[in-house]
Amino acid sequence: MFTHSDLTTAIQAGFHALLIMEAGNRPIGIFDSGVGGLTVAHAIRQNLPGERIVYFGDTAHLPYGDKSEEAIRSYSGRITRFLLEHDAKLVLIACNSASASAYESLEAEYRDRVLILDVINPVVKYVASRNYRRIGVIGTKRTISSGTYEKKIGAASPSTELASMATPLLVPMIEEGFIFDDISNAIIRTYLSDARLADISALILGCTHYPIIKNQISKFFNFDVEIIDSGRLVAGLLRETLEKNDLLNRNGSGEDLFFVSDYTDYFEKIARMFFESNINLQKADIWH
Ligand code: DGL
């Protein structure tokens, strides 16, 4: 025979399980200045196929790499609110420039409402688990001048020497669709032959746009240098975080949503390349 208290406990447990299921069904909010974050979103789709994604590409403000820290913080705050309006259970800053400029401030402001992850900390954690002597990082002017990789790797892996270099032409080059041609080859070769990158055993792609040209970068180094791309590492940490917080989507996937602040054909083309199916792309003019 069930007692009244058994029934109450069972109802409470059922209700709790329902709440967890509902929380898990909510999407993961992901943002970047443009198509770069799609490389991370794609890794998440492959590693966590049950999760739903709401993506925001701030194409109206692209590139972030030459904006001030204050500007990037303010864009990131507004985008985080937009993702919360879309019921995000976690916000992933899929942009190194925004991770370097805004992660701490977003964490401080939104920690009570939503989980926040960035793309730099998972890479730092990975580097600390390897025993590299000398590695390189390339990224936007904002990311490199912030010194975030130096500070974090210096603290987590003090014996690793880090050579950092800004490669500001790569984002506009990729966003303009110059990927497999003479222009992209010449730019990639000019940057990567810099003496600062001599004698490295690994190179961190410190910008989420760069995995799009990962093969060309590997080829430049004769496939001899490990290319560290944050996608898989971020997906791993995301899974751990969702599991720890009982937020994994156990119900299978729903529809992914993609928003841009300014519509470009190129965004749609790259999004279709990564997500194959007919993606649901909308313009969200959140700046007016
Ligand atoms: N994908 C970005 C990053 O990781 C943005 C680059 C940009 O807009 O300049 O830094």
**Contact status, residue 154 vs residue 180, Cβ threshold 8 Å:** no
pLDDT over 70, % of the chain: 91
Question: For the structural domain made of 121-230, what CATH number should be given?
Answer: 3.40.50.1860
**Contact status, residue 42 vs residue 231, Cβ threshold 8 Å:** yes
**Contact status, residue 270 vs residue 35, Cβ threshold 8 Å:** yes
What gap in Å lies between CA 241 and CA 244, rounded to an integer? Answer: 5
Per-residue pLDDT tens over the stretch 78-98: 999 999 999 999 999 999 999
Per-residue pLDDT tens over the stretch 102-146: 999 999 999 999 999 999 999 999 999 998 999 999 999 999 999
Question: Does residue 276 register a pLDDT over 80?
Answer: no
What gap in Å lies between CA 43 and CA 238, rounded to an integer? Answer: 11
Whether residue 207 lies in the annotated active site: yes
Helix (H, G, I), strand (E, B) or coil at 75: helix
Per-domain residue ranges of the chain: 4-118+233-283, 121-230
Ligand 1 touching residue 39 (CB < 6 A): no
Atom of ligand 1 nearest to the CA of 139: 10
What gap in Å lies between CA 102 and CA 83, rounded to an integer? Answer: 16
Question: Does residue 278 register a pLDDT over 80?
Answer: no
Ligand 1 touching residue 93 (CB < 6 A): no
Per-residue pLDDT tens over the stretch 6-37: 655 655 665 555 555 567 899 999 999 999 99
- Whole-number pLDDT of residue 261: 97
List Cα–Cα distances, 81 to 29, 110, 129, 160, in angstroms: 10, 9, 34, 38
Amino acid, res. 287: W
Same fold, 4-118+233-283 and 121-230: yes
Instruction: Give the confidence band of 272 by pLDDT, cuts at 50, 70, 90.
Output: confident
Question: For the structural domain made of 4-118+233-283, what CATH number should be given?
Answer: 3.40.50.1860
What gap in Å lies between CA 223 and CA 203, rounded to an integer? Answer: 11
pTM of the model: 0.91
Whether residue 46 lies in the annotated active site: no
- Whole-number pLDDT of residue 232: 95
Detail the DSSP E strand segments found in the chain: 28-32, 53-57, 90-93, 115-117, 134-139, 161-166, 202-206, 226-228, 257-260, 281-283
- Whole-number pLDDT of residue 73: 98
